Chains A and B, each alone.
Chain A
Amino acid sequence: MALMPKRVKFRKSQRGKIKGNAHRGNTVSYGEYGLQSMDSGWLSAQAIEAGRITASHAIHGEGKLFIRVFPNKSITSIPAETRMGKGKGEPEYWAAVVKSGMILYEIGGLPEAIAKDALSKVAYKMPFRCRLVSRRPSIG
Chain B
Amino acid sequence: MVQVVKVKAQSRKEQGSKASKKLRKTGLVPCVVYGHKESAISLSASHAELIKIVKHGVRLVDLETDGKVEKALIRDVQWDFLGNDVIHVDFSRVSADEKIHITVSLELKGTAPGLLSGGVLDMPMHSIHIECLVLNIPDVIRVNVSELQVGGVIHVKELVAPEGVKFLADEDAVVVHIVSAKAEVASTVPPELGAATEPEVIKKPKPVAEEEE
CA distance A8 to B200 in the complex (A): 6
Q: A8-B201, A9-B201, A23-B81 are in contact. Are A139 and B76 (CB under 8 A)?
A: yes
Contact partners of B7 in chain A: CB under 8 A? none
A4 touches B103 (CB 8 A): no
- Which of B83, B105, B181 has the most chain A CB atoms closer than 10 A to its own CB? B83
Contact partners of B185 in chain A: CB under 8 A? 56, 61
Question: Does B57 sit at the interface, judged by CB under 8 A?
Answer: yes
Q: How far is the CB of B105 from chain A (nearest CB, A)?
A: 5
Q: Which of chain B's residues has its CB closest to A10's CB? A: B201
Q: How far is the CB of A67 from chain B (nearest CB, A)?
A: 8
Question: Does A54 sit at the interface, judged by CB under 8 A?
Answer: no
Q: How far is the CB of A52 from chain B (nearest CB, A)?
A: 7
Partner of B81, one of A9, A100, A135, A136: A100
B193 touches A64 (CB 8 A): no
CA distance A100 to B75 in the complex (A): 27
CA distance A82 to B87 in the complex (A): 51
Q: How far is the CB of B34 from chain A (nearest CB, A)?
A: 13
Interface residues on B, range: 35 or more
Question: Does B54 sit at the interface, judged by CB under 8 A?
Answer: yes
Partner of B121, one of A21, A63, A138: A63
Q: Which of chain B's residues has its CB closest to A139's CB? A: B77
Contact partners of A63 in chain B: CB under 8 A? 120-121
Contact partners of B54 in chain A: CB under 8 A? 139
Which chain B residues (139-195) contact chain A, with CB distance < 8 Å? Answer: 181, 184-185, 188, 190, 192-193
B57 touches A26 (CB 8 A): no
Q: A10-B201, A138-B126 are in contact. Are A26 and B83 (CB under 8 A)?
A: yes
B199 touches A6 (CB 8 A): yes
4 pairs of A and B residues whose beta carbons are closest in the complex: A109-B121, A138-B127, A21-B81, A101-B81
Interface residues of A (CB under 8 A from B): 1-11, 21-23, 26-27, 36, 38, 49, 52, 56, 61-65, 91, 100-101, 108-109, 133, 135-140
